[in-house]
Structure 1
């Protein structure tokens, strides 16, 4: 199955092949073609840098088994683009006069300051790309650590929830035991009251019988 990362790889391969071919043609080109080649190379280098940034973002969405391989490829692509950038700077700095040309175009004689500025700009772009990649890598590590911390917190909360649930169940069982004990105690109290009432009735009956016996004894 072709992934988005694979599509970016194909586009990157086409761009770097074009850059390599144009760098090879740069030193032997005339003034007009040289300016066009320079414009095309710089445009393609910027597009390649954007593709590497997209590939770096896409790597984060790839599953672990394939992620390491894609990360290694991405590092190789960055090194390759840096090498091509340096080759372009070297080819750009070669003057046409050293190749046997007699140019009458004032733009053909490069001002060292302009060449150095452009060289520095390309180097800055390459370094910026590397810094962006490093920042994205650090952000990804922080994201992974945050995700692990969140997972650990969720596990702890789950364990605490189970502990609370068990405590609640024990409290419910204790409450049921107390309810049963309360019912038993109430039944014992009722039986005790009933026994006392029976004793009172028996005592009253015996008192009445005694009184009645004494009365009848005196009457006779």
Structure 2
């Protein structure tokens, strides 16, 4: 994780959830002042838990992109666990209110509540494990996606370099064509000049022959 504040809030929230779970277990069997203390503990855990999750959510949404998805997934996992514990607490706290029960009725209700709390905690643990597995799959999927994006980026850079080399090669070919064209024109010009020189020399030679052999007559 990228935020120390996020990690601190995460540790604190984990502690609050453990305290809340313990308080819910005790609430089903406690009586009188002990029950009131358990209710106070649970309410305090719920209040603090809400604040901590809000802090974690703010930190996650402002985190760097490479950490954001994992942090948001962690917040969602905690929210799910928190919601299940909160629902369990509300159910147990409603069931425990009432008066005028006989001791036998109280024992039966207590046993039922204890079993209900245990079942609820077990369900919460299974749900938490499922959420953790889903979170891990999401993280692995994100990592695979990031790897693919990195590979695509590398391939794009390679294609860009290849394209640049092709452009440079095309420019060089253009220059070569210009040089060859100039050389061709120079060869043609030299041939024309050479031909003219040869014709002039032939003309001079003919003139000299005519002057030597025919002009004296």
Q: What TM-score do the two structures reach when normalised by structure 2?
A: 0.57
SS in structure 2 of the partner of residue 184 of structure 1:
helix
Cα 1:2–1:174 shift into 2, 3 Å: closer
Unaligned runs of 5+ in 2: 67-73
Equivalence for 1:141: 140
Equivalence for 2:189: 190
Q: CA deviation at 1:184?
A: 1.9
Give the number of aligned pairs.
Answer: 187
Equivalence for 2:7: 5
* Structure 1: distance between partners of 2:113 and 2:13: 31
User: What are the superposed Cα offsets for residues 114-168 of structure 1, whole Å, 9 maximum, x if unpaired?
Assistant: 7656644443233122211110111101111111122122113222332332343
Q: Does residue 126 of structure 2 align to residue 127 of structure 1?
A: yes
Cα 1:33–1:215 shift into 2, 3 Å: same
Q: CA deviation at 1:190?
A: 0.1
Cα 1:50–1:128 shift into 2, 3 Å: farther
SS in structure 2 of the partner of residue 3 of structure 1:
helix
Cα 1:106–1:55 shift into 2, 3 Å: farther
Cα 1:128–1:11 shift into 2, 3 Å: closer
Cα 1:13–1:116 shift into 2, 3 Å: closer
Equivalence for 1:200: 199
Q: Does residue 161 of structure 2 align to residue 162 of structure 1?
A: yes
Unaligned runs of 5+ in 1: 65-73, 97-101
Q: Which runs of 4+ in 1 moved over 3 A?
A: 14-26, 32-45, 47-52, 54-58, 105-109, 111-122, 204-217
Q: Does residue 102 of structure 2 align to residue 104 of structure 1?
A: yes
Q: CA deviation at 1:8?
A: 3.2
Equivalence for 1:27: 29
Contact 2:20-2:41 within 8 A present in 1 as well: no
Superposition CA RMSD, Å: 5.1
Contact 2:23-2:38 within 8 A present in 1 as well: no
SS in structure 1 of the partner of residue 160 of structure 2:
helix
Q: CA deviation at 1:205?
A: 4.7
